[in-house]
Amino acid sequence: MSDPRRQVPRTDTVLDDPRLAEVAQRLGREQVKTAVVGRLEQVRRQELAARDVVDAVLRDLPSAGTSLRPVVNATGVVVHTNLGRAPLSAAAVEAIVTAAGPTDVELDLTTGRRGPRGAAAVAALLAAVPDAEAAHVVNNGAAALGLVAGALGRGRKVVVARGELVEIGDGFRIPELLESFGAELREVGTTNRVRVEDYTKAVDDQVALVLKVHPSNFRVEGFTASVPVRELARLSVPVVADIGSGLLRPHPRLPDEPDASTSLRDGAALVTASGDKLLGGPQAGLVLGRADLVQQLRRHPMARALRVDKLTLAALEATLTGGTTPVARGLVSDRRELMVRARAIAEAVGGDAVESVGRVGGGGAPGVELASAAVTLPEELALPLRTGVDPVVGHVQGGRLLLDLLAVPPEDDARIVAAVRALRRE
């Protein structure tokens, strides 16, 4: 009677479970069967209870051809790097689906001839930033900088302030990136201070450009000085402003965050930025500014290696022309509204609603605090909620699990309630 094998259900019996039968229609019976066999092996070894097999198999299986799992971002961080940065707007998601099949990304349907790739995305960028004469889209912000360094600065000097030699994250450093594309750096100033005379002295006929990098993920306070684009623009070489986050215009809640329009109006020859931070779009690198320089970048052999696919172009255009993005909504969230939602969730799952403080994230606006609201639950629920069928990622603070609503669209409140209730039932 104590033989554990007696408690192991048969593979076919498990496969008959309606939830697995439904998944098998999408993924094929073989894939589901393999997962079931694996989990039943664990039951045999008494590492898993028989009644948990179906849930475990559902967790093992990709929800849709991809093994990437959709999660609820209850971290209170609007642009969460480890959760894929900006969640796309409904318009952008629809655009990706539309562009997935054959599409006229490089064909002029009227003439039947080849057309300029990504023209609509570029046009949308230029409409959003009228101060730019031209624009080009590459794979990400680092690619935009790399292309600038390679096409304009290769074998020449790029002047940059020591206080702006930034590490972006995951060990990637902007100075090394620029050098790897063949530009030589000429550093000016000290860690905390640089003056316009430092730049003036550094600029000679070997210098291709002056690079101004926004130190987006840290703040220097105290005895500091940097030179704004407006003053750098008086130098005899082009100024490239790496603004980082991709704000196209000033944002009232982010007064210290540079934006593309202002940088260009202040005299930057080019602006580089990411598409999936504060712009709220797909991963992309944007280059905006002088037409002659953008043309040089576009014609450079490296441009082909850094070019974006049709899905990115479609999503970027829709981000710019469609409705508000989740990032934009997160940035202007109203604490009272979040509190009302937090109370409703807390009541449904038996937690407390509390005021909380959210962040912009994505390595941007490090000092900015966003008023938010959260549901608190026992800390022990953090892991099971993360690894549940519909994962909810919160954050632990002061011995409690906080499910912060700042980056949760209201329609996802029900997912949180369902996930917590599923745990309570177990």
Instruction: Name the residues that contact ligand PLP, by CB under 6 A.
Output: 140-142, 168, 213-214, 216, 242, 244-245, 274, 285, 363
* b/e map 203-225, b = 16+ CB within 10 Å: beeebbbbbbbbbbbeeeeeeee
Helix-helix angle 29-44:53-60, to 10 degrees: 130
The distance of closest approach from Cβ of residue 312 to ligand PLP in the complex, given in angstroms and rounded to an integer, is 12
The distance of closest approach from Cβ of residue 141 to ligand PLP in the complex, given in angstroms and rounded to an integer, is 2
Nearer to ligand PLP by C-beta: 57 or 278?
A: 278
The distance of closest approach from Cβ of residue 368 to ligand PLP in the complex, given in angstroms and rounded to an integer, is 14
Please give the Cα distance from 273 to 243 (Å, whole number): 6
Of the chain, the end-to-end C-alpha distance in Å amounts to 26
- Phi then psi dihedrals of residue 333, to 5 deg: -55, 145
Nearer to ligand PLP by C-beta: 283 or 356?
A: 283
The distance of closest approach from Cβ of residue 155 to ligand PLP in the complex, given in angstroms and rounded to an integer, is 23
- Phi then psi dihedrals of residue 80, to 5 deg: -95, 115
Q: Containing H/E element for 373?
A: strand 370-378
Nearer to ligand PLP by C-beta: 75 or 274?
A: 274
Q: Which residues does 237 contact at the CB level (< 8 Å), separation at least 6?
A: 159, 203, 207, 208, 209, 210
The distance of closest approach from Cβ of residue 240 to ligand PLP in the complex, given in angstroms and rounded to an integer, is 11
Nearer to ligand PLP by C-beta: 187 or 412?
A: 187
Q: Containing H/E element for 339?
A: helix 335-349
Nearer to ligand PLP by C-beta: 12 or 170?
A: 170
Residue nearest ligand PLP, Cβ-based: 141
The distance of closest approach from Cβ of residue 388 to ligand PLP in the complex, given in angstroms and rounded to an integer, is 30
Nearer to ligand PLP by C-beta: 52 or 167?
A: 167
